Amino acid sequence: LGSGASTAGSGGSIIIAVGSGTSGAGGFVAIQSGRSTVVTGGALSVESGEGTASSSGSIRVASANGGAAGGSGRLVFSSGSAKTGNSGSIMIGSGATTAGRGGAIVVAVGSGTSGAGGAIQMQSGRSTAMTGGALVVSSGEGTASSSGSILIVSSNAGAGGASGALVFSSGTSKTGNSGSLSIGSGVATAGRGGSVSITVGSGTSGAGGLISIGAGRSTVKSGGLVSISSGEGTASSSGSILISSANAGASGGSGKLVFSSGTAKTGNSGAVLIGSGAATAGQGGAVRVSVGSGTSGAGGALSLSSGRSTATTGGILTATSGEGTASSSGVIVISSANGGSAGSSGRLVFSSGTAVTGNSGSVVLGSGAST
């Protein structure tokens, strides 16, 4: 079935159409290739016409518009089932080009005026014997420039709602570990590794949105670890880690920083360790705790307090200078700051606490022995 060639006009069209009716479902058109009982069944090829001097023809597969009381017909692209081998693949793509851009692929849901918007779902294959199928989303390679971006974003909210949530999560597991979630930038050989930024958008009402990082909970062993490490500098310094609250506005204070271990029911609560690393050809890094200056009221206090015990002796508070294995040990200086133009310098108080039934503590001042 075909039309003849034309030398000074267009080739004749071929139309296969079913006539309209007034009762029952409309008549259907079926195109089916041949069946084989010994080898592969016949192929079904639908191909538009070649345009040797211009574009090739389009192929349009569409259902007709719905009537007054129904929806438009669905489109189903599916391979058949298989009994002993793999089911057939479905491949959707645009062709390569030698002097232009590859054609775009757009999958979009039409807009509606009632109910929630239509969903788009991508799901890889399920397996009852091995690992399920992978789902891969990759941008295009740029062999002479940058590769393409991948943008995953929910649409802007309307006048009376919120923008949609983004959820990146692995599934649950019954007998093994659940899947990991990895977010990172790739390695660069002649530039810097790409930054990874997690931020909360600004708002105009209520408190700002929070960022929460929590390691995994375990009912049988220790909970998961949270590790924050700066980048290694193999030829220079490693990167800094900055933990700070934002500056306060016109009528509030800046946010507090809390470094604390959790409580314990039957064992010790966790320790809090703050220190600098060892150095093999330089000085160990300094550790400084200081209170910022202010312009009203008394200066902020700095308090060091060891632990309280309801059963035995309270915790020790120790201040020790650094050892000098080849020279003198470090100095310990305890002093109040100089007094201002209308005040005196602060006093120093060295005192043991009171005792209810025993002796109060001694105060011992002395120098060490020398050999």
Residue 297 has pLDDT above 90, yes or no: no
* Mean pLDDT in residue range 23-29: 90
Contact 17, 26 (CB under 8 A): no
pLDDT score for 290:
93
Tokens of 297: 């009221």
Q: Which positions ≥6 away from 330 have C-beta within 8 Å?
A: 321, 322, 323, 324
Calpha distance 70→28 (Å, rounded): 18
- The predicted-structure confidence for 298-331, as pLDDT tens digits, reads as follows 999 999 999 999 999 999 999 999 999 999 999 9
Q: Look up residue 317 and give its DSSP letter.
A: -
- The predicted-structure confidence for 270-295, as pLDDT tens digits, reads as follows 999 999 999 998 999 999 999 999 88
Give the pLDDT band of residue 232 (cuts 50, 70, 90). very high
Calpha distance 29→73 (Å, rounded): 14
Contact 341, 353 (CB under 8 A): no
Q: Which positions ≥6 away from 46 have C-beta within 8 Å?
A: 59
Concatenated DSSP letters for 147-189? Answer: PPP----PPPP-TTS-PPP----PPP-SSSPPPP----PPP-S
pTM for the whole thing? 0.80
* Mean pLDDT in residue range 214-234: 93
Nearest Cα neighbor of 27 from 18, 39, 36 is 18
